[in-house]
Amino acid sequence: MKLTATLAGLLVAAMPILATAQPLTMVLSNDNNAKGLKGQTFDFFVERAKEALGDDLTADMHHGGTLFDQDSQVVGTQLGEAQIIAPAIGIYSQLVPEVNMFELPFLLSSPAKIQAAFEDESLRALWVPKLQAKGIEPVAIWMNGPRDLGYRGDKPVLLPEDAQGLKIRVQSAPVYVAPFEAIHSNPVGVSWSETPTALEQGVIDGAEPTPNAWRGSGMWQMIDQITLTEHIYTAWIVGANKMWWDGLTDAQREGLQSALDAATAWNAEQADQINNQDLEFFASEGKQIHRLTEEQQAAWKDAMVPVWQKYGTEVIGEDGMNRLIEISKAE
């Protein structure tokens, strides 16, 4: 009887632990292709998450916008139909305009500076609580790379005035539209999944994604030239459905966070390397790659930096902008 009572006591004590150790389902939506840097980073994260949580985790990975496209993924995550997404930062700006601070042209120009801004507590206070209030928990930031202008035609685009009138595909968020309005081109908001058709049909003359996005999508075959404007070093904020994230056990959250940290480190190591390799590949395939002189780059910067006022200072205040500029000047 004594042994039985002891065993019963142990079982009762273990019940709360057993009750929380439920299998975990994680639905992930990637609005981009599986071959590009984001797709590879998602797969790396899923692999590490499975290693951390084992059979307790079921990961349902959707690439290529097959679950949610670029514009619908945030709402899908708020509704709990996806648990993890990694949109371009400007996609969140419809909910929280403050996130535009990360994508102001010619400001945060490297992974280290973007990561520093993402971790800065004074800056986080400006946007993280607001995103959380919308049901999204920001859990990591992954690098994409420098945005470059790719286009059809024989005439190189080396200065802002060369792009006047060109129909350039941009994401529909204002922070991406405004820089090209500033140089008097014709920015056209098109979902990424629809961009190949738009380019093929002549609805647009070009686009301004990163080299890895050009290659991963196969659209590099539709253009003739790429100008390395590098006007924005773009990144993806990894967002989780907040209710789902908060409902994880400590062990589950720690396991997923360790996998996120590993994926973030891998991504940062790969971003510049992969984008540079893709540029070399394009050149080997006969595409004209134009590297701007300091004077040409300065002309692009002078033309686009005025958007800082509307999408930076007026949104996050002078103190926030001063902190961003301080980070941007750090070595």
Query: Across all residues in the chain, what is the average pLDDT?
Result: 92
| CATH code, domain with 175 | 3.40.190.170
Q: Are residues 37 and 172 in the same domain?
A: no
Range of the domain at 169: 149-232+285-329
d(CA 110, CA 89): 15
Give the pairing of strands 149-151 and 225-227.
antiparallel
**pLDDT beyond 60 at 18:** no
| pLDDT tens digit sequence for 246-278 | 999 999 999 999 999 999 999 999 999 999 999
101: number of Cβ within 10 Å: 25
SS3 labels along the chain: CHHHHHHHHHHHHHHHHHHHCCCEEEEEECCCCCCCHHHHHHHHHHHHHHHHHHHHEEEEEECCCCCCCCCCHHHHHHCCCCCEECCEHHHHCCCCHHHHHHHCCCCCCCHHHHHHHHHCHHHHHHHHHHHHHCCEEEEEEEEEEECCEEECCCCCCCCHHHHCCCEEEECCCHHHHHHHHHCCCEEEECCHHHHHHHHHCCCCCEECCCHHHHHHHCHHHHCCEEECCCCCEEEEEEEEEHHHHHCCCHHHHHHHHHHHHHHHHHHHHHHHHHHHHHHHHHHHCCCEEECCCHHHHHHHHHHHCCHHHHHHHHHHHHHHHHHHHHHHHCC
Helix 314-329 with 111-119: angle, nearest 10 deg: 130
* Mean pLDDT to the nearest integer, 145-166: 97
Average pLDDT of the segment spanning 101-105? 97
Q: Whole-angstrom Cα distance, residue 100 to residue 88?
A: 10
Q: Is the same domain home to 296 and 252? A: no
pLDDT at 126: 98
pTM of the model: 0.88
- Verify that 66 and 204 share a domain, yes or no: no
Tell me: do 123 and 176 sit in the same domain: no
Q: Is the pLDDT of residue 70 over 90?
A: no
Number of domains in the chain: 2
Q: Are residues 187 and 39 in the same domain?
A: no
Query: Percentage of the chain surpassing pLDDT 70?
Result: 94
| Residue 216 and residue 254 in one domain | no
Please indicate, yes or no, whether residues 138 and 38 belong to a single structural domain of this protein: yes
Q: Is the model's pLDDT at 1 over the cut of 70?
A: no
Residue 11: pLDDT band by 50, 70, 90 thresholds? very low
pLDDT tens per residue, range 172-212:
889 999 999 999 999 999 988 899 999 999 999 999 999 99
**Is residue 67 located within the same domain as residue 207?**
no
Of 231, 234, 238, nearest to 307 (Cα)? Answer: 231
Q: Give 280-324 pLDDT, tens digit per residue.
A: 999 999 999 999 999 999 999 999 999 999 999 999 999 999 999
Tell me, yes or no, whether 120 and 249 share the same domain: yes
Name residue 158's beta-bridge partners: none
What is the reported pLDDT for 7?
Answer: 36
Q: Which pLDDT belongs to residue 331? A: 75
| 105 and 220 inside one domain | no
